[in-house]
Amino acid sequence: MPGLTPKEKRVIEFLSRSGPYPSYQTIAEQCSLSAAQVCTTIRELVRKGCLEVQTERRKGFAPKQFTVL
């Protein structure tokens, strides 16, 4: 994955192995990052075209589905 930072690589690798709906907190814990760093990293991965994020509405909460491209 050329052009990705170490944080981006960790997040992409985790999302490739996880289920489609991990929380930002779960991603943060598994990648040794803060939730804020995860949020910023995911935004950058989407901007770079490496990740797609869809929000689904379910009974009062909106889980995010992550798709690695």
Q: Which pLDDT score is estimated for 67?
A: 85
Kindly tell me if the per-residue pLDDT of 7 is higher than 70: yes
Tell me the C-alpha distance between 65 and 53, whole Å: 6
For the entire predicted model, the pTM comes to 0.84
Q: Which residues contact 42 (CB under 8 A, 6 or more apart)?
A: 11, 24, 27, 51, 53, 66
Domain spans in the chain, listed from the N-terminal domain onward? 6-68
Kindly tell me if the per-residue pLDDT of 61 is higher than 80: no
pLDDT higher for 64 or 59? Answer: 64
pLDDT higher for 66 or 9? Answer: 9
Question: Would you identify the CATH topology of the domain 6-68?
Answer: Arc Repressor Mutant, subunit A (1.10.10)
Confidence of residue 63 (pLDDT cuts 50, 70, 90): confident
